[in-house]
């Protein structure tokens, strides 16, 4: 009886680890916002941080929100904070300029243009 419980627990643990490693991770084809962080003295950094550029297709996620799908094969992408503007490009390939909130996997949209 104890052996069956141990085996079932071990199997559950292995499945959980396998599932976590197969869960798609969100990423983007982007320009690094840190590229301008190392500036020579005397040059001031602009007040507004430059946005990153993300390329993909506007899709509707299972939760009903518009998102940017950056890799169709793996299902990787980002949520978009400007749902109204994203909806105007539904189904289209676009370039999104904005800043990424890594904690929520959300792009704070500055601009969306057809790709």
Residue 20 carries which DSSP code?
H
Global confidence as pTM: 0.57
- Average pLDDT of the residues in 91-101: 97
Percent of the chain at pLDDT > 70 equals 57
d(CA 104, CA 43): 33
Q: pLDDT at position 32, please?
A: 39
- Banded model confidence at residue 9, pLDDT cuts 50, 70, 90: low
5 has pLDDT over 90: no
Domains in the chain: ranges and CATH:
52-114 (2.40.50)
Q: Cα–Cα distances in Å, from 4 out to 10, 12, 15, 17?
A: 10, 12, 16, 20
Q: What is the DSSP letter of 5?
A: H
Window from 19-33, 43-57, 69-83, 99-113 with minimum mean pLDDT: 19-33
pLDDT at 51: 85
């Amino acid at each position: 009886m104890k052996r069956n419980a141990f085996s079932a627990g071990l199997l559950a643990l292995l499945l959980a680890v396998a599932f976590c490693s197969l869960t798609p991770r969100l990423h983007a084809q982007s320009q690094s916002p840190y590229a301008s962080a190392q500036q020579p003295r005397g040059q001031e950094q602009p007040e507004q941080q430059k946005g990153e550029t993300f390329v993909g297709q506007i899709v509707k996620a299972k939760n009903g929100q518009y998102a940017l799908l950056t890799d169709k094969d793996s299902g990787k992408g980002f949520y978009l904070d400007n749902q109204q503007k994203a909806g105007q490009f539904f189904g289209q390939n676009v370039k999104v300029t904005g800043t990424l909130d890594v904690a929520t996997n959300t792009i704070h949209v500055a601009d969306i243009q057809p790709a």
